[in-house]
C-alpha cells in the first residue's frame, strides 16, 4: 500500500492513480464529473463500471486500491450494501478526499452512521457539495493542492525561481468608450468563484484591446503577474501549450509536455493569463481546463470569436461601441459616445490638423452609425481622412467593405481590411454553415428562428440549430434574448459580406424569393383589418418589428414584377404605413408599383391606382388624389371589387365636400354607405356619417353636425372601428369648440387621445395634443399650452403629417405665441416627454 511517505507505484504510464468510490446509479453524473476532472489533469481515474461491483469480499477492492495513490469517496443517500464501506476501510493508508451531496432527506441510516465516523477522522478531508459542477471544481482544487504538497508524478520539482511573465504588449492608443465593459469584467475577473472568462464578438470589435486594458488595470490583483499569450499565428492546437509557456518565460522541462511544464510553474501562483485569438485552435481548450483544475489561483481571460464550451466558463459578448441615436445632437454625441470619439482620435492621428464643424459632426455621427460602432471599421474609415473629409466619406460608405481598406501595417494580415477580418471567421466555418451564413444576409434588421428556418431551408423545427449555434458562437450572427423569442441579427458590414458570398457562391435568387414569400405570409397572418387596429394594436407592433424585412420583401417582389403578390403585401402593410407615420414610404412604394403596370392584371392595376390615390388623399395632395381616384372608380365597378369601390367613392365624396359640391358628395357617400352595409364593412358606414356631418358644420348648424358625428361614433363603436371612432370624436370636439363648449370638447379629446395612444398612433396622438394645447390657450394657461404643443411637434417630427387631417375639419387655433421666451422651460419639457408621459400630462387637467 502506498502511504503519504511511500514511493509511488510505477504503473506502465507512470501517472498518479486515483480510486473513485460511490454508490452506483444515484451518483452517476457526479462520478463522471470526477472522472473527467482527473483525466483532464493527466491523471488516471480508477473506478468500477456501473453495475460491476462484486457482491462480496474485499480482495478485489484491495487490488484496485493498492494500485492507487489517492482515494475519493462520493456519497449521497443510498448505502448500496457494504461495498462503499469496504472500499473506504480498504483505503485506510491512502489520503482520502470525501464529498457528501446535500441536501439528503432520504439518507440511509447506515450511510449516516458511516459519514459520522468519517467526519470525526482528522486524517480525512470532508466537504459537502450541491451538484456535479460544484463537485468538479472542488475535486480539481483539492487534487491540485495535494499534488503541490505531496506528489510529483513526473519526477521533477516545480520551478521555484522568481521568474515573472513577460511584459504585456503596449497598446498603441488609449481605450475609448469601454468604461462599462471594463468595470463589469474587472468585477468578474476578481471574483474568487470565477476562473475562466471568454470575451466573444465579431472580428474587429476590440476584444484584444479590451483584454490588454484589463490586464494592465488588474496587475495589482494578481501578485505573480499578468501573462499574455497571442495565438493569432498558431495553426496547430498542440502548439498552444508552448505559446503559453513562452508567455510565462518558462524553460522546457525534460519528460514534461508544455502544458505540464506550465502547470508545474503555476500550481501555487496567482496569475492572470490572457489567451488571445483562440477561435481557430479551440481543441486546445482542454489544456486550459487542465491548468484551471491543477492551479487554483490562476484566472484565465480568453478572447475568441466562439465560446470554448468549458465547465465554469463565463462568456462575455463584447458589443460594438455606443453609437448616437438618430435624435441626438451630433455635436454633443461626438464628445460623448465612444464610436464617435474613436473616429475623431484616429482621424487626428493621421491628420494632425483634423477639425470638424457642425456639418462635420453630423457626418461623423452618420459614419459611425453606418459602421454599427465596430471599432476596426471606424479606424479604417478614420484613416481615409488623409484624403477625404467626413462628408465625402459618408457618400463612399454605401459600399463599406470596398472602402475600408489599408489598415495599419502592424496589424495582423487578416485585420488590415474589414473584408479580411470577416473572411477570417467565415473560412473557419464548415461548408454548411457558410451557406447558412450567406443566406442570412438577405435579412434586413433582425429575424427570428421561424424566419431563419424558412429562408435557410431547415427541414424541420430543430434541423440546423447546431449550424445556427456555430454562427452565433463565431460572432457572425448576434443573438438578443431580451424578448419572448430569441432574435438574431448581423452587423451591417457582416451582412454585406454575406450578401456578396450569397451572390457569388450560393442560391441568390432562390433565397431572396424564399425571404419575400415568408414575409408575405407573415404579413397576411399578422396585419389587422383596416379600421379595427384598436382591437389589436399589438399586430401593428409586430409589423413594425419586421418593418425592414417587409420593406425588403416588397421591393424584391416589385423588382421581379410579381405584381399580384407585391400589391397583396402592400395591402397588408397599409395599417403600418398609416398608423406609424410611414405614409411617404407607402407613396414611394405604390408609385414604384405603377412603373410596372404592364405586368399587372386589371384588378391588381386597379388596386395600385387606388393605393396611389388613397395615399395622396391622406398626404393632403388633393389634386393627385382626385385624378387617380376618378381613374380607378370605373375600373373597380367594372371588375366588381365592392370593398375598394366603397373606399374610393368615400374619398371622392369627401373631396367633393371640400370643394363645396354637396350634391356630388351625397351621391358618392351614399354609394359608400350602401356598399359597406351590404358587404358588412360597417367601419366605412361610420365614416359616411362623419363625412356627411361636414355639410351642416360648414353651414353653421352645429347641432345637426354633432348629430351626424354622434351617429358615426355609435356605428364605429359597434364594430370596434378605431378609425371611425377617433375621427368622430375629433369632429365632435371641433364642433363643440366652434359652439364655445370647451368642457365638452375637452371630454371628446380626452377619449380620442386615449384611443390614439393605445394604438401607438403617434400622428393621431399629435393632432389631439395640439387641440388640447389650444384649449389650454383659450383658458389662459399658456405654459401648459406650450408644453403640449412641443410634445405634439415632437411626435409629428417622427410620425410625419397626421393622417387624420384628411378626414376631419381643421382645428380653429387661436394662434397664441407659444414660442416666447417665457415658456422655454415648458417647451423643453414637452420635447423630453415620451408619448406616454405627454398623454398622461394632457389628461391630468381633464375631469373624467
- DSSP one-letter string for 31-90: HHHHHHHHHHTT-EEE-PPTT---SS-SHHHHHHHHT-SEEEEEESS--TTTHHHHHHHH
Question: What pLDDT band is residue 747 in, cutting at 50, 70 and 90?
Answer: very high
Is residue 483 pLDDT above 80, yes or no? no
Q: Using a CB cutoff of 8 Å and minimum separation of 24, what contacts does 82-86 make?
A: 82/56, 83/53, 83/54, 84/21, 84/22, 84/23, 84/111, 84/114, 85/110, 85/114, 86/58, 86/61
User: What are the residue ranges spanned by the domains of the chain?
Assistant: 17-149, 179-317, 330-418, 429-506, 517-712, 726-843
Rounded Cα–Cα distance for residues 628 and 135 (Å)? 76
- Whether the predicted pLDDT of 70 surpasses 80: yes
Q: Give the pLDDT mean for 107-115.
A: 88
Q: What confidence score (pLDDT) does residue 9 get?
A: 32
What long-range pairs does 246-250 form, CB within 8 A, spacing at least 24? Answer: 246/166, 247/165, 247/166, 247/273, 248/163, 248/165, 248/166, 248/273, 249/163, 249/164, 249/165, 249/166, 250/159, 250/163
Residue 153: which pLDDT band, with cuts at 50, 70 and 90?
A: very low
Residue 589, pLDDT score: 93
CATH 3.90.110.10 is the classification of domain 179-317: no
Q: Which residues contact 336 (CB under 8 A, 6 or more apart)?
A: none
Residue 570 pLDDT: 95
Pairing of strands 478-480, 487-489: antiparallel
Q: Yes or no: say if 724 and 715 are a contact pair by the CB < 8 Å rule.
A: yes
Least confident of 59-73, 316-330, 569-583: 59-73
State pLDDT tens for residues 686-696. 777 888 888 88
pLDDT for 162 equals 45
pLDDT of residue 524: 93
Q: Yes or no: say if 726 and 741 are a contact pair by the CB < 8 Å rule.
A: no
Q: How far apart are CA 231 and CA 207, in angstroms?
A: 14
For 759-797, write each residue's pLDDT tens digit.
777 778 989 999 999 999 999 899 999 999 999 888 875
pLDDT at 536 over 70: no
Quote the pLDDT of residue 50.
37
Residue 800, pLDDT > 60, answer no
pLDDT band at 166 (very low <50, low <70, confident <90, very high): low
The conformational region for residue 44 under phi > 0 = left, psi -120 to 50 = alpha, else beta, is: beta
Q: Could you give the percent of the chain with pLDDT greater than 70?
A: 85
What is the model's pLDDT at position 13?
A: 45
- For the cut 70, the answer to whether the pLDDT of residue 158 exceeds it is no
Residue 593, pLDDT above cutoff 70? yes
User: What pLDDT shows up at residue 690?
Assistant: 82
With a cut of 90, say whether residue 682 has pLDDT above it.
no
| Of residues 374 and 607, more confidently modeled | 607
Q: Of 456-460, 578-582, 714-718, where does the model show the most confidence?
A: 714-718
pLDDT at 750 over 90: yes
Specify the range with the lowest mean pLDDT, choosing from 269-273, 380-384, 630-634.
Answer: 380-384
Q: Which three cell numbers stand for residue 177?
A: 468608450
CA 83 to chain CA centroid, nearest Å? 54
Question: Does this chain's domain 17-149 share its CATH topology with 429-506?
Answer: no
Identify the band that residue 156 occupies on the pLDDT scale cut at 50, 70 and 90: very low
Q: Check whether 604 has a pLDDT greater than 80.
A: yes
User: Does the domain formed by 17-149 have CATH 3.40.50.360?
Assistant: yes
Longest C-alpha distance within the chain, in Å?
A: 115
Does residue 375 surpass a pLDDT of 90? no
**448: phi then psi, degrees, rounded to nearest 5:** -100, 180
Peptide bond into 103 cis (omega under 30): yes
The answer to whether residues 848 and 751 touch, using CB atoms and an 8 Å cutoff, is no
Question: Around 511, how many Cα atoms within 13 Å sit in the side-chain half-sphere?
Answer: 23
For residue 840, what pLDDT is reported? 93
Task: Give the pLDDT score at 479.
Answer: 80
Residue pLDDT, tens place only, 169-224: 777 678 888 999 999 999 999 999 999 999 998 777 889 889 999 999 998 899 88
pLDDT digits (tens, 9 = 90+) for 398-450: 555 555 555 554 555 444 456 765 776 687 788 988 999 999 999 987 899 89
- Is the Cβ–Cβ distance between 676 and 646 less than 8 Å? yes
What average pLDDT does this structure show over 362-378? Answer: 85
Task: Tell me what pLDDT residue 399 has.
Answer: 54
pLDDT higher at 256 or 78 = 78
More confident residue, 63 or 668: 668
Nearest to 846 by CA among 765, 740, 747, 777: 747
Residue 90, pLDDT score:
84
CATH 3.30.479.10 fits 429-506, yes or no: no
Cα(164)–Cα(270) distance, integer angstroms: 11
More confident residue, 236 or 830: 830
Q: Does domain 517-712 have CATH number 1.25.40.10?
A: yes
Interval 127-149: pLDDT, tens: 888 888 888 888 887 787 676 55
User: What CA–CA distance (Å, rounded) separates 722 from 598?
Assistant: 36
pLDDT of residue 416: 47
Per the prediction, the chain carries an average pLDDT of 82
Confidence of residue 462 (pLDDT cuts 50, 70, 90): low
The runs of H, that is alpha helices, within 221-329 are: 240-247, 258-266, 285-294
Task: Calculate mean pLDDT across residues 654-669.
Answer: 89
Give yes or no for residue 722 having a pLDDT over 80: no
* Segment 343-354 mean pLDDT: 85
Q: Which residue has the higher pLDDT, 390 or 683?
A: 390
In tens, the pLDDT along 510-520 reads: 999 999 999 99
Amino acid at each position: 500500500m502506498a502511504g503519504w511517505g511511500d514511493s509511488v507505484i510505477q504503473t506502465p504510464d507512470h501517472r498518479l492513480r486515483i480510486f473513485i468510490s460511490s454508490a452506483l446509479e444515484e451518483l452517476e453524473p457526479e462520478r463522471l464529473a470526477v472522472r473527467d476532472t482527473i483525466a483532464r489533469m493527466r491523471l488516471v481515474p480508477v473506478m468500477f463500471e456501473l453495475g460491476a461491483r462484486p457482491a462480496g469480499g474485499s480482495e478485489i477492492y484491495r487490488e484496485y486500491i493498492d494500485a492507487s495513490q489517492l482515494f475519493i469517496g462520493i456519497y449521497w443517500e443510498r448505502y448500496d450494501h457494504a461495498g462503499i464501506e469496504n472500499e473506504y476501510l480498504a483505503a485506510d493508508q491512502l489520503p482520502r478526499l470525501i464529498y457528501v451531496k446535500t441536501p439528503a432527506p432520504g439518507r440511509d441510516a447506515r450511510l449516516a452512521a458511516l459519514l459520522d465516523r468519517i467526519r470525526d477522522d482528522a486524517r480525512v478531508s470532508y466537504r459537502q457539495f450541491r451538484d456535479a459542477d460544484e463537485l468538479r471544481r472542488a475535486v480539481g482544487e483539492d487534487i491540485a493542492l495535494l499534488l503541490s504538497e505531496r506528489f510529483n508524478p513526473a519526477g521533477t520539482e516545480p520551478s521555484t525561481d522568481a521568474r515573472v511573465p513577460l511584459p504585456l504588449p503596449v497598446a498603441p492608443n488609449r481605450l475609448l468608450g469601454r468604461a462599462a465593459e471594463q468595470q463589469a469584467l474587472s468585477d468578474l475577473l476578481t471574483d474568487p468563484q470565477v476562473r475562466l472568462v471568454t470575451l466573444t464578438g465579431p472580428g474587429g470589435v476590440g476584444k484584444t484591446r479590451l483584454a490588454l486594458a484589463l490586464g494592465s488595470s488588474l496587475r495589482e490583483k494578481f501578485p505573480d503577474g499578468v501573462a499574455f499569450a497571442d495565438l493569432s499565428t498558431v495553426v496547430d492546437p498542440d502548439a498552444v501549450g508552448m505559446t503559453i509557456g513562452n508567455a510565462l518565460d518558462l524553460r522546457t522541462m525534460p519528460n514534461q509536455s508544455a502544458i505540464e511544464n506550465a502547470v508545474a510553474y503555476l500550481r501555487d501562483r496567482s496569475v492572470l493569463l490572457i489567451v488571445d485569438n483562440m477561435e481557430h485552435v479551440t481543441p486546445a481548450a482542454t489544456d486550459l481546463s487542465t491548468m484551471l483544475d491543477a492551479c487554483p489561483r490562476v484566472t484565465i481571460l480568453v478572447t475568441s470569436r466562439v465560446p470554448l464550451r468549458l465547465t465554469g466558463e463565463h462568456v462575455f459578448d463584447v458589443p460594438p461601441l455606443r453609437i448616437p441615436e438618430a435624435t441626438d445632437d451630433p455635436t454633443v454625441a461626438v464628445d460623448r459616445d465612444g464610436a464617435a470619439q474613436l473616429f475623431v482620435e484616429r482621424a487626428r492621428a493621421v491628420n494632425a490638423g483634423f477639425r470638424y464643424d457642425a456639418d462635420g459632426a453630423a457626418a461623423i455621427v452618420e459614419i459611425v452609425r453606418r459602421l454599427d460602432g465596430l471599432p476596426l471599421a471606424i479606424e479604417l474609415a478614420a484613416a481615409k481622412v488623409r484624403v477625404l473629409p467626413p462628408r465625402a466619406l459618408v457618400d463612399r460608405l454605401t459600399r463599406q467593405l470596398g472602402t475600408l481598406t489599408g489598415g495599419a501595417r502592424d496589424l495582423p494580415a487578416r485585420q488590415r481590411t474589414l473584408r479580411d477580418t470577416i473572411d477570417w471567421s467565415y473560412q473557419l466555418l464548415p461548408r454548411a454553415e457558410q451557406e447558412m451564413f450567406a443566406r442570412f444576409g438577405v435579412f434586413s434588421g433582425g429575424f427570428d428562428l421561424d424566419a431563419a428556418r424558412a429562408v435557410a431551408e431547415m427541414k424541420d423545427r430543430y434541423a440546423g440549430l447546431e449550424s445556427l449555434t456555430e454562427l452565433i458562437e463565431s460572432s457572425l450572427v448576434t443573438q438578443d434574448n431580451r424578448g419572448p423569442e430569441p432574435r438574431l441579427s448581423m452587423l451591417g458590414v457582416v451582412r454585406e459580406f454575406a450578401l456578396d458570398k450569397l451572390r457569388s457562391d450560393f442560391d441568390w435568387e432562390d433565397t431572396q424569393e424564399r425571404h419575400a414569400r415568408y414575409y408575405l405570409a407573415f404579413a397576411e397572418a399578422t396585419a389587422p383589418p383596416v379600421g379595427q387596429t384598436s382591437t389589436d394594436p399589438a399586430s401593428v407592433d409586430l409589423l413594425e418589428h419586421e418593418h425592414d424585412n417587409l420593406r425588403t420583401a416588397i421591393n424584391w417582389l416589385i423588382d421581379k414584377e410579381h405584381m399580384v403578390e407585391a400589391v397583396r403585401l402592400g395591402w397588408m402593410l397599409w395599417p403600418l404605413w398609416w398608423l406609424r407615420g410611414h405614409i411617404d414610404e407607402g407613396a414611394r412604394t405604390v408609385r414604384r408599383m405603377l412603373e410596372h403596370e404592364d405586368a399587372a392584371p386589371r384588378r391588381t392595376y386597379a388596386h395600385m391606382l387606388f393605393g396611389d390615390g388613397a395615399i395622396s388623399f391622406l398626404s393632403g395632395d388633393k389634386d393627385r388624389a382626385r385624378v387617380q381616384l376618378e381613374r380607378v372608380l370605373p375600373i373597380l365597378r367594372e371588375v366588381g371589387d365592392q370593398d375598394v369601390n366603397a373606399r374610393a367613392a368615400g374619398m371622392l365624396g369627401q373631396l367633393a365636400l371640400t370643394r363645396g359640391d354637396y350634391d356630388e358628395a351625397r351621391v358618392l357617400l351614399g354609394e359608400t354607405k350602401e356598399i359597406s352595409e351590404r358587404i358588412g364593412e360597417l367601419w366605412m358606414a361610420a365614416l359616411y356619417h362623419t363625412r356627411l356631418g361636414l355639410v351642416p358644420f360648414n353651414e353653421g348648424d352645429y347641432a345637426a353636425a354633432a348629430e351626424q358625428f354622434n351617429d358615426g361614433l355609435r356605428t364605429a363603436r359597434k364594430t370596434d372601428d378605431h378609425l371611425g371612432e377617433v375621427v368622430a370624436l375629433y369632429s365632435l370636439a371641433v364642433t363643440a369648440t366652434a359652439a364655445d363648449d370647451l368642457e365638452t370638447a375637452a371630454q371628446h379629446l380626452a377619449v380620442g387621445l386615449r384611443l390614439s395612444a393605445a394604438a401607438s398612433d403617434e400622428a393621431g396622438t399629435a393632432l389631439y395634443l395640439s387641440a388640447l394645447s389650444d384649449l389650454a390657450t383659450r383658458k389662459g394657461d399658456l405654459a401648459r399650452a406650450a408644453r403640449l404643443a412641443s410634445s405634439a411637434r415632437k411626435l409629428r417630427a417622427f410620425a410625419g403629417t397626421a393622417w387624420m387631417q384628411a378626414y376631419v375639419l381643421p382645428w380653429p387655433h387661436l394662434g397664441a405665441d407659444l414660442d416666447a421666451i417665457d415658456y422655454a422651460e415648458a417647451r423643453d419639457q414637452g420635447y423630453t416627454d415620451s408619448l406616454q408621459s405627454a398623454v398622461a400630462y394632457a389628461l391630468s387637467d381633464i375631469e373624467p
